[in-house]
Amino acid sequence: MCMDFPAKKLIVPLAVLVGCTILIAQLVSRFGERLGNGDDQRTDGHQQMLSQLASIANNAQNPFFGDAALNQLKTQLLRTPPRSVPELMVRFQLGEHELRRGATEAAIEQLTKCYQLLPLVEEAINSESRVEARTTTTFLLAVAYLRLGENENCVNCHRSESCIFPLKDGGIHEKREGSQKAIPYLEEVLELNPSDAAARWLLNLAHMTLGTYPEQVPDNYLIESAVFDSDEKFPRFTDVATEAGLNTRSLCGGAIIDDFNGDGLLDVVTSDWDVKGQLKFFEGTRHGKFGEQTEAAGLTGLYGGLNINQTDYNNDGHLDIYVMRGAWLADQGQHPNSLIRNNGDGTFTDVTLEAGLAKKNYPTQASAWADFNQDGHLDLYVGNEIVGNNPAPSQLFKNNGDGTFTDVAAEAGVLNNRYTKAVVWGDYDDDLDPDLYVSCYGHPNRLYRNNGDGTFTDVAPDLGVDRPIWSFPAWFWDFNNDGAIDIFVGSYEIVDGTGAVARSYLGLPFKGETLRLYQGDGKGGFQEVSRQQKLTQLSLPMGANFGDLDNDGYSDFYLGTGYPNYEALMPNLMYRNQAGQGFADVTTAGGFGHLQKGHGVVFADLDNDGDQDVFEQMGGAFPGDSFGDVLFENPGFENHWLKVKLIGHKTNKAAIGARIRVTITENEAKRDIFLYVNSGGSFGASPLRKELGLGKATVIDQLEIRWPTSGQVQTFQNVPVNVCLEIEENMQEYRKVSLPIISYQGK
């Protein structure tokens, strides 16, 4: 009897597996201390949240990755006839299972046995499936060996150049077995299917890890180095995460950088999607080494969270934290999110239950804060995913002004009921009421116009901003400084994964949507301009954010790319804004092309030297795909800058929604620079203390602040450059703030 064998395409990405629990991490029993530091700030609600999260960490079950699934497959193997197609298929599943759970050697053992079984059972496989059976098995065995090389070199013996594409110098593997053994298997796949772009990509990559690229790559499979060249010259950034104490290993998660203790130094918060992954707090110090203060801050036991952001929900002047949990887990992801109050004394308290934010829990990875009704209190929109096979409703929590919230999504008309990947607020029609853009995976996106009466209307179809269908990160910004808000939306349509990305680099036809850039016209309309702005590369971004790397006053952006499977070794991408006339890929020149999966991306001047560094929270979804975070230090561009911290009074205290307009003279020509107070893009939250590049301008002709709630416009003339200013609503003068300049430990 002939049998079909699972095609290589069935090694599917996470996003395609919505509605199933295949991506739940290996949930074995383990969790650390349940309580924080034991101080008197702990509330009953805080203790209840710790108990809930501990229960989730200990009791959640996974039929695909946990020990139960593994044991079931092993039992099935014992009952399977030897030297048969069923044995081949069970061993293949075991190998895939072991690889994803991080047991690489065990995966190689099972997949090697599969490879050896193939000629013995080939006649029993459907004739149409034989080649696919061989390529699928051989390809995954090659991937397992590549993963072995990554573990032995990039993970366990990490250096600043590890996994920076194209690999050279310190990125070359010292332990060579993994890549050496992967190469002949990849060549075999290509002999069977010369058009397999994924195998071709990984073959070139394997040779890079050995230092044998391009000389030893067969000519017919070689990808020329010119394919990877940047569009223009750009100074190289260096990963200093180890020196700074920020190279923490975790699965995918979120990141926040902001000043949580008010000392002028930026702090770092990271989350971990694993239900046992600890939320971590790193305090900035004057000697440049970030010190982990998780336990001292009372955060111990607050686990999980694919995404996080910051806010000041109670207008007390202290930045709070919001954690989103349960994403990608469908029925098993109905975990509570967390609102974590900053107590103002270096500690935090989970107040979710008291605030009324956990009455209904859904799998969540996206949320954003804004004052939608302009009452001076920040409200929260939470975009949810699916429960079972049905999209979960989104939630709009109106801030009641007393520490509690009420879900008004239904009456406001923003339930959405689509699989939500990103939510962002911005005033696209310039009427001072924040509007809401919702990125929906597998459905048209939403642009909810704020009607000013507590309700919203979806105008995305009318304005032509509802694509791409398979979208992920999104944000509002003004990329060309014309005073009109624009929309960025990243596409995450994974048809052929790594193969499609490789074909895009090679200039060959590929399947998959590319990102969209919608340019605002200042009248409430938009035009799609991604092609005109030179944004045609297939990128598959997850984490993404924007900032101004070279302090020229134009926003650049970085994409953390990839998908869950281990073969998704594709460089994260940096694009430089060419004065609003197009974007140049500077990935290779700038040293930004990290091959591991990037999630929380943050642009922030961590060392207070005037230019923005880039922090990236790294790691994949599978239990064996953790990786250390990176911090790309900015080498400097000799341009001028300004930092502005706004404090609202009638407007919310964090000034979220305020617009900053700077007018400068450069090269004898006046121009404006626009920036809005928000936290940035998907998974990464940049500081609410805004950082603006000023180019070569030696003085700011005019600094203008427009406050959203009051509508007040403050203007200041002849403002100095290279300073940090604190500006309060209704105040006629600004205050200069002295910030200590630090250097990273060992630098």
285-329 pLDDT, tens digit per residue, is 998 899 999 999 999 999 999 999 999 999 999 999 999 999 998
- Alpha-carbon distance of 687 to 485, in angstroms, equals 20
Confidence of residue 745 (pLDDT cuts 50, 70, 90): low
Contact 397, 407 (CB under 8 A): yes
Q: Is the pLDDT of residue 5 over 90?
A: no
The candidate with the shortest Cα–Cα distance to 723, out of 677, 676, 674, 689, is: 689
Mean pLDDT in residue range 701-710 = 98
**176-212 confidence digits (pLDDT tens):** 999 999 999 999 999 999 999 999 999 999 999 999 9
Mean pLDDT in residue range 253-273 = 96
Confidence of residue 41 (pLDDT cuts 50, 70, 90): low
Confidence of residue 61 (pLDDT cuts 50, 70, 90): low
DSSP-assigned beta bridge partners for residue 348: 342
DSSP secondary structure string for all residues of 106-130:
HHHHHHHHHHHHHHHHGGGB-GGGH
Q: Is the pLDDT of residue 215 over 70?
A: yes
Read off the amino acid at residue 629.
Answer: D
Both tokens of residue 405? 């919230």
DSSP-assigned beta bridge partners for residue 675: 660
Mean pLDDT in residue range 534-554 = 96
- Alpha-carbon distance of 227 to 216, in angstroms, equals 18
Q: Is the pLDDT of residue 2 over 90?
A: no
Identify which has the larger pLDDT, 727 or 159: 727
In the DSSP assignment, the letter for residue 285 is -
Q: Is the pLDDT of residue 25 over 80?
A: no
- Alpha-carbon distance of 557 to 62, in angstroms, equals 36
- Which segment of 23-37, 112-126, 392-406, 478-492 scores lowest on mean pLDDT? 23-37
Both tokens of residue 165? 């594409």
Integer CA distances (angstroms), 551 to 391, 535, 637, 700, 722, in order: 42, 21, 7, 14, 11
- Which segment of 211-215, 451-455, 675-679 scores lowest on mean pLDDT? 675-679
CB-neighbour burial class of residue 435 (10 A; exposed 0-12, middle 13-18, buried 19+): buried
- Alpha-carbon distance of 276 to 48, in angstroms, equals 17
Alpha-carbon torsion (267, 261, 288, 688), positive or negative: positive
Side-chain-side CA neighbours of 102 within 13 Å: the count stands at: 18
Q: Is the pLDDT of residue 659 over 50?
A: yes
Number of helices and strands (H, E) in the chain? 13, 41
DSSP secondary structure string for all residues of 237-261:
PEE-HHHHT---EESS--EEEE-SS
What is the widest separation between alpha-carbon atoms in the chain? 85
Helix (H, G, I), strand (E, B) or coil at 575: strand
- Alpha-carbon distance of 578 to 83, in angstroms, equals 61
Contact 210, 172 (CB under 8 A): yes
**518-541 confidence digits (pLDDT tens):** 999 999 999 999 999 999 999 999
Q: Is the pLDDT of residue 14 over 60?
A: no
Contact 268, 246 (CB under 8 A): yes
**147-160 confidence digits (pLDDT tens):** 999 999 999 888 89
Query: How do strand 684-685 and strand 255-258 relate by DSSP bridges?
Result: parallel
Mean pLDDT in residue range 378-387 = 96
Mean pLDDT in residue range 662-679 = 95
Mean pLDDT in residue range 14-37 = 32
Helix (H, G, I), strand (E, B) or coil at 609: coil
The candidate with the shortest Cα–Cα distance to 307, out of 601, 564, 566, is: 601
pLDDT at 106: 97
Q: Is the pLDDT of residue 664 over 80?
A: yes
Integer CA distances (angstroms), 697 to 636, 641, 721, in order: 16, 9, 8
Percent of the chain surpassing pLDDT 70: 93
| Radius of gyration of the chain measured on its C-alpha atoms | 25
DSSP element (H, E) containing 44: helix 44-59
Mean pLDDT in residue range 480-505 = 96
Helix (H, G, I), strand (E, B) or coil at 502: helix
Both tokens of residue 231? 């569009």
Contact 422, 327 (CB under 8 A): no
DSSP-assigned beta bridge partners for residue 584: 576
Specify the residue for token string 């994403």: 327
- Alpha-carbon distance of 402 to 375, in angstroms, equals 13
Read off the amino acid at residue 612.
Answer: Q
Both tokens of residue 499? 């193969």
The candidate with the shortest Cα–Cα distance to 184, out of 169, 161, 202, 170, is: 202
pLDDT at 15: 38
pLDDT at 248: 92
Contact 197, 502 (CB under 8 A): yes
Mean pLDDT in residue range 724-747 = 89
Specify the residue for token string 């001072």: 432
Q: Is the pLDDT of residue 35 over 50?
A: no
Percent of the chain surpassing pLDDT 90: 87
Instruction: Give the contacts of 453 (CB within 8 A, at least 6 positions apart).
Output: none
Contact 644, 632 (CB under 8 A): no
Its pTM stands at: 0.94
- Alpha-carbon distance of 277 to 335, in angstroms, equals 14
Mean pLDDT in residue range 451-461 = 98
- Which segment of 494-508, 633-647, 675-689 scores lowest on mean pLDDT? 675-689
- What does the CA dihedral 496, 498, 499, 505 come to, rounded to 10 degrees? 130
Contact 629, 618 (CB under 8 A): yes
Q: Is the pLDDT of residue 126 over 60?
A: yes
Confidence of residue 1 (pLDDT cuts 50, 70, 90): very low
Helix axes 177-192, 197-210, angle to 10 degrees: 150
Confidence of residue 18 (pLDDT cuts 50, 70, 90): very low
Alpha-carbon torsion (242, 248, 254, 256), positive or negative: negative
Both tokens of residue 287? 């000697």
pLDDT at 37: 36
